[in-house]
Amino acid sequence: MIKQLFPIKHVAGYISSLVLSAVALVVLLDMPAASKMAILFVTAILQASVQLMLFMHVGESDNKKSIYINIAYALFVGLVTIFGTLFIFVWGWYS
Amino acid sequence: MKIDATQPLEYGTEENRNRIFGFWLFLGAEIALFATLFTVYIVLANRFASGPSGAEIFEITPVLLETFLLLTSSFTIGLAVHAMRLGLKKQMMMFMIITLLLGAGFLGIEIFEFFTYVHEGVTLSTSAFSSSLFTLLGTHGAHVTFGLLWGTAILIQIKKHGLDHSTANKSFIFSLYWHFLDVVWIFIFSFVYLKGLM
């Protein structure tokens, strides 16, 4: 029963998300700022992928292609918003 | 109603499949919404005027606790959907109740955090930093609050009608929503709290 209720895939996904959160904590230690940001990006994106692929069953519906295109488009809009704004307001490309 | 018995209950009818697809479209819009809130926060994070900065008010312990609760609740709602597909109504409801309790725990800590911030002199109108922080965290917290009410309503329906095409579909869509909130929290955890503390 326990085995039936706790499939290994879900347990592995849960443990990996906990581990990834713990790994992200190394940015509180002393190291170059660039490596810290790189670590945060990698752990956050990996965690999001675990949720999306494993728990949200994105690959199993018959219109998964449309779902992938929709999410890719949303991410495109989001990333352009974030990095376009940083480009103008923070990194000061105009100066 | 044409029923496809080869599919899990929640995908069983065309209407069900359309609803799931429609919810993915909604999640796309939610990604855009949170992207704008993150944008505002990232740009204004260092504009704390005469108020305290993020590094001064953030504390890692409650944040870790929130992260743990939300990650675990995302796991248990996944287990709920898994149990639902096995047709185990009782176990499915158990996992869903655990999910909602963990969500309530998360919300409790977050409210306590907000209370502490205000106590330390950081309110919505203290600085550009605090406004964007509360807006980002508050929007996520409001989503969790709504999720608690929505999940409770679904639980009542499952109790009343059992697992059928309609309730299974609603539960599955709720699980998508809950996982999405977990993803948003991961980005808050990384790019608001950890970045603020490093």
B29, with CB counted inside 10 A (0-12, 13-18, 19+), is exposed
For residue A94, name the pLDDT band (cuts at 50, 70, 90): low
Q: Which residue shows structure tokens 């499952």?
A: B158
**Which has the closest alpha carbon to A10: B74, B178, B152?**
B74
Q: Round to whole Å and give the CA distance between A3 and A20.
A: 24
CATH of the structural domain B9-197, one choice from 1.20.120.80, 3.40.50.300, 3.40.50.10860, 3.20.20.140: 1.20.120.80
- Tell me which amino acid residue B65 is: L
Contacts of B195 in chain A (CB under 8 A): 27, 36-37, 40
> Residue ranges per domain, chain B?
9-197
Maximum Cα–Cα distance across chain A: 65
A87 DSSP assignment: I
Give per-residue pLDDT as tens, A28-49: 999 898 999 999 999 999 999 9
Q: Round to whole Å and give the CA distance between A80 and B128.
A: 22
pTM of the shown model: 0.94
With a pLDDT cut of 70, the percent of chain A lying above it is 97
Q: What is the mean pLDDT of residues A59-88?
A: 91
Q: Which residue of A has its CA nearest to B179?
A: A51
- Both tokens of residue B19? 């609803």
Which residues 29-88 in chain A show a CB within 8 A of chain B? Answer: 33, 36-37, 40, 43-44, 47-48, 51-52, 54-57, 61-63, 66-67, 70-71, 73-75, 77-79, 81-82, 85-86
**Which has the closest alpha carbon to B23: A71, A11, A37, A33?**
A71
Which residue positions in chain B have pLDDT lower than 50? none
Contact A74 B29 (CB under 8 A): yes
Contacts of A85 in chain B (CB under 8 A): 39, 42-43
Return mean pLDDT, chain B.
94
- Measured CA distances, B17 to A59, B9, B137, B169, B189 (Å): 14, 10, 32, 9, 33
Chain A interface includes B23 (CB < 8 A)? no
Q: Which helix (H) or strand (E) holds B63?
A: helix B60-85
Beta bridge partners of B94: none
Q: Round to whole Å and give the CA distance between B143 and B180.
A: 10
